[in-house]
Amino acid sequence: MSKKSRGGGGGAAAGEDPEDLSRSPLQAVLLADSFTLKFRPITLERPKVLLPLVNVPMIEYTLSWLESAGVEECFVFCCAHAQQVKEHLGKAGWTGKPAAREMTVTAVESHDAISAGDALRVMYGRGVIHGDFVLISGDTISNMNLKDALQEHKDRRKKDPLAVMTMVIKHSKPSILTNQTRLGNDEIVMAIDPETKELLYYEDRADVSNLYVTIDKDILASNPTLQLRNNMEDCYIDICSPEVLSLFTDNFDYQHLRRHFVKGLLVDDIMGYKIYTHEIRSSYAARIDNFRSYDTVSKDIIQRWTYPMVPDVLSFGDRQEIKLHRQGIYKASDVTLSHCAQIGANSVVGNGTSVGENCKVSNSVIGQGCNIGKNVLIHGSYIWDNVTIEDGCKVSNSLVCDGVHLGAGAIVEPGCILSFKVEVGKNVVVPAYSKVALLPQPSNEDSDEELEYADTNSGVTDSPPFSSMRSADHPTVSDDDDLEASETGTCGVVGYVWENVDAGIQEEWRQSIAPIPKDKLEELQHAASFDDDDDGSEDDFKNRPTVLDQDDDSDVSAVEDDDYSKFEKEVEETFQRALDGIHQDNLILEINALRLSYSLQHADCAGALFHSVMRSALVAAQSTNGNLLKTTAEALGKWKDLLRNYTKSVDEEMEILLKFEEMCQENTKEFSPLFSKILPYLYDKEVVSEDAILRWAEEKENADESDKVFVKQSEAFIQWLKEAEEEDEEEE
């Protein structure tokens, strides 16, 4: 139970005039320690916030965004590896004099804090927070405009001083098979008041196996209307009042921001403090909580979802300028690339790196100063700085840290983490999901603190034993074999193999860089088929559409997209068969079957089908060098009746407009300049109605300017619709 919050050393008092708060400079508290163990063994030597994310330290994305969002003063709380963080801030120009920045940055150091709660108690004691502030961790990437969320928070505070926090959330539907989001996090269940956006219930450890949650009846009694959501991602960007700091100081059992503080306030019916949510739609925000989210966010950055936080815009230190080329390929100007080497789509190569003959790099990031030999295959991997990879190596869906050396013919299987300066001998195969480091695994890992092993020499030997690798030409070395230090070279690897102390290697796939294995997806799908319907037969399961669309020989073992993306792909494949002559009635039956199997709505079908129709128009224009507007009109004219089958309501028509916007902004930008010309055609063909268009425009009125691009482009047509509507009302 919360005690009464006290004003004083932590900043503004609870009773202070909100108008005074609004005049305070906008401040931020950035937690430069994750207080978790998920990135071990890497974080034994370097703090998580300084790990490279597409060749730029994570904290640079967070600080750059805070500065662009209007934050004037940022306090960086350092705990583990504090000296490294402070040195980086000085080197990057965030601290020191003169600091040519619009935002002042101050490092706050403490070696006693072992949780986020401890960190905020230290911040309270420093007395440096004087008004509303942004609370964020240094592993969060965003490009959102804070203006609307800040204004909502301040407006609520004027009406209700008990509104102490606004949490930023974003739509992210979890997989029905893994119950995880695309970031590798477990699904979160939230109850939100649809009118006020007040958070009423929060559970990040829901028992999804029972398919239900337990909510206090008092919440239901006092809130006749609420939304129960399991399709939202917590962005871990919070706008807080100064009372948040004093609440942590008054409650020493508050350690974790969500499980203790947020849940504690939600069940405290004495003090009555309230937490609200702000949902972002077109902006980007994500926290890197595990290796899967590291992979997902890296791909989002490369594909420019995070713009302007992208490689060719966000600069760091004295590194050479990175240039964007076709197919999402980024290269520094001084890369040495053999003419028979292939750099595939969505890849980054840092400055001073050389890539040898017949190398193939795809969907990967390579840092600076790397030396890649001949005939090397790198797929879906992250190669940090100064790595040497000799001829004939293969690295798949793994992370390779600074200074690692791979001998000729070495194979790194999916999901591996090779920490700093690990050496792998010739023809050695590193098994899937292995974690290898020069530092031994601590015997006691129940502490939340990331111990600073890098600052000591304890536990490190000159020739650490390693006994779980195998040579490509020899059988696996047994874990029972006793290898003396002098015999380490027998298996060709210098380093310690770390064990997964949480759930064993069978669960490593959940938060790995590697895609979920095909056999695991099949197992989960098989289990889900019987969980959904106890009376269902195995034949029913076999008739369901598969979630796999990769060949066995593919380097990628499974599809990584979320469920809607899979559904959208299957709809497009089904639509392609219709282009080859399948009758429209059969097409509707197949799409309806897909909708049921994915537990989706008609609106989802409308969006996915519209995407397929528009893609067919684009392909037709590209293959014939024809006019895109013409091929679009032909495609919409041909398939308008099919689209109407899924647009029976204004909400479903709205889904088409939102999908069209998304396509223009993302993967089919060719339609972007034609939006205002295609919109009237959709109206004329009765694919979308006047009500849907006007409601779409109305909902954009308070959106960010970046979200109003297509409304403004279609302004003349929208105004014509409004005038026509007014004339109809006058005639009546």
Q: How confident is the model at residue 463 (pLDDT cuts 50, 70, 90)?
A: very low
Which residues, listed in sequence order, are joined to residue 185 by a DSSP beta bridge?
A: none
Nearest-angstrom CA–CA distance, 331 and 82? 32
Q: Nearest 5°: phi and psi at 79? A: -135, -90
- Alpha-carbon dihedral angle through residues 680, 685, 690, 691, given to the nearest 10 degrees: -130
What pLDDT does residue 128 have? 86
- Give yes or no for residue 402 having a pLDDT over 90: yes
Q: How confident is the model at residue 337 (pLDDT cuts 50, 70, 90)?
A: confident
Tokens of 433: 């999901």
Domain spans, the chain: 3-295, 316-447+465-511, 524-550, 556-731
Tokens of 154: 């301040």
Q: Of 4-18, 436-450, 621-635, 706-720, where does mean pLDDT reach its minimum?
A: 4-18
Question: Each residue of 510-565: pLDDT tens digit?
Answer: 778 888 777 776 676 666 555 545 444 444 433 433 333 333 333 333 333 456 77
What pLDDT does residue 282 have? 78
What pLDDT does residue 481 have? 37
- Give yes or no for residue 505 having a pLDDT over 80: no
Mean pLDDT of all residues in 28-55: 87
Query: For the structural domain made of 556-731, what CATH number should be given?
Result: 1.25.40.180
Mean pLDDT of all residues in 584-602: 76
- Give yes or no for residue 574 having a pLDDT over 60: yes
Q: 575 near 590, Cβ under 8 Å?
A: no
What pLDDT does residue 6 have? 39
**pTM here?**
0.68
What pLDDT does residue 66 have? 93
Mean pLDDT of all residues in 619-638: 78
SS3 222: helix
Question: Each residue of 675-729: pLDDT tens digit?
Answer: 889 989 888 888 888 888 888 888 877 666 777 888 888 888 888 888 876 666 5
Q: Nearest 5°: phi and psi at 23? A: -90, -10
- Give yes or no for residue 3 having a pLDDT over 50: no
Q: How confident is the model at residue 252 (pLDDT cuts 50, 70, 90)?
A: low
- Give yes or no for residue 365 having a pLDDT over 50: yes
What pLDDT does residue 97 have? 66
Nearest 5 degrees, angle CA 484-CA 494-CA 389?
150
SS3 655: helix
Q: 74 near 106, Cβ under 8 Å?
A: yes
What pLDDT does residue 127 have? 84
Question: Each residue of 304-324: pLDDT tens digit?
Answer: 888 888 888 877 666 668 888
- Give yes or no for residue 460 having a pLDDT over 60: no
Question: Each residue of 403-424: pLDDT tens digit?
Answer: 999 999 999 999 999 999 999 9
- Give yes or no for residue 265 having a pLDDT over 80: no
Q: 595 near 570, Cβ under 8 Å?
A: no
What pLDDT does residue 609 have? 87
What pLDDT does residue 217 have? 78
Domain 316-447+465-511 has CATH 3.30.2130.10: no
Q: At which residue do the structure tokens 């925000």 appear?
A: 285
**pLDDT: is 315 or 329 the higher one?**
329
- Give yes or no for residue 479 having a pLDDT over 70: no
Nearest-angstrom CA–CA distance, 373 and 408? 9
Mean pLDDT of all residues in 92-98: 76
What pLDDT does residue 1 have? 37
Query: Which residues does 18 contact at the CB level (< 8 Å), separation at least 6?
Result: 154, 157, 158, 161
Nearest-angstrom CA–CA distance, 24 and 410? 58
- Total Cβ atoms within 10 A of residue 549: 14
**pLDDT: is 74 or 499 the higher one?**
74
Query: Which residues does 244 contact at the CB level (< 8 Å), separation at least 6?
Result: 120, 135, 164, 165, 261
What pLDDT does residue 732 have? 55
**pLDDT: is 335 or 459 the higher one?**
335
Residue 181's closest CA among 234, 144, 141, 257? 234
Whole-number percent of the chain with pLDDT over 70: 75
CATH level 3 topology of 3-295: Spore Coat Polysaccharide Biosynthesis Protein SpsA; Chain A (3.90.550)
Mean pLDDT of all residues in 236-259: 79
Q: 123 near 108, Cβ under 8 Å?
A: yes
Q: How confident is the model at residue 264 (pLDDT cuts 50, 70, 90)?
A: confident
Q: Nearest 5°: phi and psi at 400? A: -120, 115
Query: Which residues does 28 contact at the CB level (< 8 Å), separation at least 6?
Result: 66, 71, 73, 74, 75, 133, 134, 135, 136
Mean pLDDT of all residues in 659-686: 85
What pLDDT does residue 455 have? 37
Q: 466 near 436, Cβ under 8 Å?
A: yes
Specify the amino acid at residue 235. C
Nearest-angstrom CA–CA distance, 397 and 344? 15
- Total Cβ atoms within 10 A of residue 182: 23
Q: How confident is the model at residue 179 (pLDDT cuts 50, 70, 90)?
A: low
Mean pLDDT of all residues in 361-367: 92
Mean pLDDT of all residues in 72-88: 88
Mean pLDDT of all residues in 270-276: 82
Kindly report the average pLDDT of the chain as a whole number. Answer: 77
**pLDDT: is 2 or 264 the higher one?**
264
What pLDDT does residue 450 have? 40
- Give yes or no for residue 52 having a pLDDT over 90: yes
What pLDDT does residue 525 have? 65
